[in-house]
Chains A and B, each alone.
Chain A
């Protein structure tokens, strides 16, 4: 009787999960640019739905565009287009094969593949190139690319806020498929990734990232959230990896914490792939057959996932005892504090535990792996309906005081991260003057260049004159060396520095 009730409940919950999953409409992939070439994706209606409801929008921001479009055709170079692009440019990449590394070191660039009749623009690494796309600008979108045979990563971000990585097809690209690192506010959605020797999707040292609706398989780790805060992992299909979904602290990194990760509405199925990680890497320690692994990450919510057929364990909460290959970092707190396991469907897990898990089970006089294990035995965890699952180490868990996280539609920010707020010392003219010009000019004493006072007397009300001269100086004074050109500062900054220089009084 109990069992039937449980199954009925499970079906209802499953339906509920399904409902929630579809209620959060996937973000529109329509590319809203005038004069856009053919072969866009059609609207899926999300914009209309949101407009009709008029109450909220989820992940609705886009990389700002200026209307400028550059089209890259087969045989041309994507990097040449990036080099020409001003912020706000949409770069359309036509189907074809592109053998290059593309790096985007400017803001608000949309790199968008054009898919025709299922034909993608292919970025081909031929097993010799390092990474397909590197970005370090804010507001970068990378979408609709087929990326294969790179040695490093398919798409790697380094401190680019407000990124969107979506609809990419990534096959066999080495270490990571998609790797945003040290970024704030981003979306990784609707990518299909396989054959990665570390994590297919790896969110490293980042804040406010949604990883949603991706398909990841045949990789060592499916989705890894590492040393990050406020990450939503939702609606992903994660199967046949060594480990499915990971939320982790890696010790020894400069950003030490991991917290507030919601893992919900995912399919985490049959993650039994042999571990083919590089020896020495942290993921080389993951036991094959791990559905989810939460290591040292705090306030992780596991909700409405279907976790089935993972041969070692469904969900594993642990400390650094798995990270035996890393040096101890006293600044990294090892416990997975306040774990929260809401309703989930877990079935058929632990049928053939990997040796490491088998050894752990032996200490508990068990041979079959559980649905949920907590190797630390946390006393601040909670779980709903624990009687439904085979568990180890959850004796001190209480009943969760809440049943869902539907108030959190997204962990991305409602608006893109703005540039640093204008503070009193954030005047670019002042910063350029003291940070660059002051190497040669002091207010009233001779350094390498003439004193600022003398320049003030010469230019008075003419900051434009200073800015122009600094860009292309000519030798003026026999008693001073020729000024090196300062054209590396953009016009605006040069003018601001000149204005600051003219009003300086000490």
Chain B
């Protein structure tokens, strides 16, 4: 049904005269990975069969998930999908959420430093949105504690999407198609004829879409659930290096999400010419967190090069090699950082680094990747496939160590 609708809308997009007559109808089915239960989409995963110590969602192979967000309606989720891809949310209609969180680039953008409105080069890289349903803090420095709070950062930042709450509300309320879709998604708030789209509707819908981005069906997961042949010999070697107390990767990138959701000061370098990023020190006003960043999940990590908060490492191999370079080896002169105790000198061999990369590649799963709408309620064309163009882009991919 949904696919049919998409095909239909593809056709219609080429025939603007008809588009008006065939309004977008929101999907009444939950996204894959969710069960419709009394109008709400609830997450279902084989990991729900497993316990987790103190319900923390960190452990080993058969460990349950951390607390997650779900419970949005199918319509809210689908409305969020349209909003996510719609450049009408930006101040000048030039960028959408998907510009920096592109579904074909692991919901990141392939850049070391993302590019916002007016081709502004931003100080940090866009993190993946896969599995954000499980996260407790957001942004590289962990300064937001919910997706609703987080999204107001990029939406209203002058260099990212360049909008503001008044403009956003005015824009959406002036588009009849959106009025209708918000009424479908939030029927209780649109009983009166004069009902308006509110900011909390926008935030809830985008959150609903974001929490539907579940990636828990990689080959690693098949291994974790008990299928020993899911990983090759070298990949299993990589897993053992990953969780060994020599490399210590799993101490912070802890299964099942491959993050322990903590801040860590590890002392990675910035790209050439970029000033030192103080990280979590700023929001926490805590000097010992200088250079501290959130431990990112490694799920779908193969899709989101370059790596680290400002994309200094172009490849997984280079990122892995950082950890065997010695404690604090890349800390700029004059910086005194409280480097995390797990950063040491494991003296990993080249072969071990290769095996680690082999293993990291098994964490890829896009089986629940959502459809990209070809037609948007605003009538605008999607912009996320436009190539970012900024004179000063520091592209991690061409920034080999």
A residues contacting B by CB (< 8 A) are 83, 101, 103, 105-106, 130-131, 134, 136-138, 151-153, 156-161, 174-176, 179, 182-184, 205-207, 252-255, 278-282, 325-330, 417, 419-420, 425-426, 428, 430-436, 438-440, 442-447, 487-490, 493, 506
- CA separation between A444 and B343, bound complex, in Å? 51
Residue numbers in B under 8 Å from A443 (CB-CB): 29
Question: Could you give 16 example pairs across A and B, Cβ below 8 Å?
Answer: A131-B246, A156-B244, A174-B245, A175-B245, A182-B60, A184-B51, A184-B53, A252-B262, A252-B263, A254-B56, A326-B341, A327-B264, A330-B286, A439-B368, A445-B3, A506-B36
A280→B289 contact, CB < 8 A: no
A130→B2 contact, CB < 8 A: no
Closest A residue to B368 using CB positions:
A439
Closest B residue to A279 using CB positions:
B327
Residue numbers in B under 8 Å from A174 (CB-CB): 245-246
Instruction: Enumerate the 4 nearest inter-chain pairs by beta-carbon distance, A residue then B residue, closest first.
Output: A159-B59, A159-B60, A434-B44, A136-B60
From B45, B52, B264, B346, contact of A435 by CB (8 A)? B45
A435→B217 contact, CB < 8 A: yes
Contacts A159-B63, A328-B286, A420-B49 given: A134-B58 contact, CB under 8 Å?
Answer: no
Q: Is B247 an interface residue (CB 8 A)?
A: yes
B260→A134 contact, CB < 8 A: no
A436→B217 contact, CB < 8 A: yes
A106, A327, A493: residue with the most chain B Cβ atoms closer than 10 Å? A327
B240→A134 contact, CB < 8 A: yes
Residue numbers in B under 8 Å from A489 (CB-CB): 225, 227
- CA separation between A428 and B225, bound complex, in Å? 12
Closest B residue to A438 using CB positions:
B32
Q: Is B4 an interface residue (CB 8 A)?
A: yes
Interface size in chain B (residues, C-beta < 8 A):
74
- CA separation between A202 and B383, bound complex, in Å? 53
B2→A445 contact, CB < 8 A: yes
A446→B343 contact, CB < 8 A: no
- Could you mark each residue 94-124 of chain B with 1 if its beta carbon is under 8 Å from any beta carbon of chain A, else 0? 0000000000000000000000000000000
Residue numbers in B under 8 Å from A254 (CB-CB): 56, 58, 254, 260-262
Residue numbers in A under 8 Å from B368 (CB-CB): 439
Closest A residue to B262 using CB positions:
A252
A252→B63 contact, CB < 8 A: no
Closest B residue to A281 using CB positions:
B341
B49→A130 contact, CB < 8 A: no
Min CB gap A170→B, angstroms:
14
B246→A151 contact, CB < 8 A: yes
A490→B226 contact, CB < 8 A: yes
Residue numbers in B under 8 Å from A184 (CB-CB): 51, 53
B49→A428 contact, CB < 8 A: yes
B59→A447 contact, CB < 8 A: no
- CA separation between A206 and B63, bound complex, in Å? 13
- CA separation between A160 and B51, bound complex, in Å? 11
- Could you mark each residue 22-63 of chain B with 1 if its beta carbon is under 8 Å from any beta carbon of chain A, else 0? 000000010011111000001011111111111010111111
Min CB gap B331→A, angstroms:
12
From B62, B230, B245, B261, contact of A156 by CB (8 A)? B245
Closest A residue to B51 using CB positions:
A420
A159→B2 contact, CB < 8 A: no
Q: Is B1 an interface residue (CB 8 A)?
A: yes
Chain B contact residues: helix, strand, loop or mixed = loop
Residue numbers in A under 8 Å from B367 (CB-CB): 439-440
A325→B338 contact, CB < 8 A: yes
- CA separation between A280 and B344, bound complex, in Å? 8
- CA separation between A158 and B33, bound complex, in Å? 27
B244→A158 contact, CB < 8 A: no
Closest B residue to A331 using CB positions:
B262
Residue numbers in A under 8 Å from B222 (CB-CB): 488
B36→A445 contact, CB < 8 A: no
Residue numbers in A under 8 Å from B250 (CB-CB): 158
Min CB gap A147→B, angstroms:
13
Q: Is B243 an interface residue (CB 8 A)?
A: yes
Residue numbers in B under 8 Å from A207 (CB-CB): 53-54
Residue numbers in B under 8 Å from A160 (CB-CB): 60
From B3, B240, B289, B292, contact of A103 by CB (8 A)? B240
A420→B50 contact, CB < 8 A: yes
Residue numbers in A under 8 Å from B46 (CB-CB): 428, 431-432, 435-436, 493
Residue numbers in A under 8 Å from B244 (CB-CB): 101, 130-131, 134, 152-153, 156
Residue numbers in B under 8 Å from A152 (CB-CB): 244-246
Residue numbers in B under 8 Å from A328 (CB-CB): 286, 288-289
Q: Is B265 an interface residue (CB 8 A)?
A: yes
Residue numbers in B under 8 Å from A325 (CB-CB): 338, 341
Contacts A101-B240, A431-B49, A445-B29 given: A252-B264 contact, CB under 8 Å?
Answer: yes
Contacts A182-B63, A419-B51 given: A176-B245 contact, CB under 8 Å?
Answer: yes
From B1, B33, B265, B288, contact of A439 by CB (8 A)? B33
Known: A255-B56, A434-B45. 20 other contacts (CB 8 A): A105-B61, A106-B226, A130-B244, A152-B244, A157-B60, A159-B255, A174-B245, A255-B54, A280-B339, A330-B284, A425-B44, A431-B44, A435-B47, A442-B29, A445-B2, A447-B2, A447-B32, A488-B230, A489-B227, A493-B46
Residue numbers in B under 8 Å from A444 (CB-CB): 1
Residue numbers in A under 8 Å from B286 (CB-CB): 327-328, 330
- CA separation between A255 and B42, bound complex, in Å? 26
Q: Is B228 an interface residue (CB 8 A)?
A: yes
Q: Is B308 an interface residue (CB 8 A)?
A: no
Closest B residue to A157 using CB positions:
B60
Residue numbers in A under 8 Å from B344 (CB-CB): 278, 280-281
Min CB gap B78→A, angstroms:
13
Min CB gap B224→A, angstroms:
8
- Could you mark each residue 59-86 of chain B with 1 if its beta carbon is under 8 Å from any beta carbon of chain A, else 0? 1111110000000000000000000000
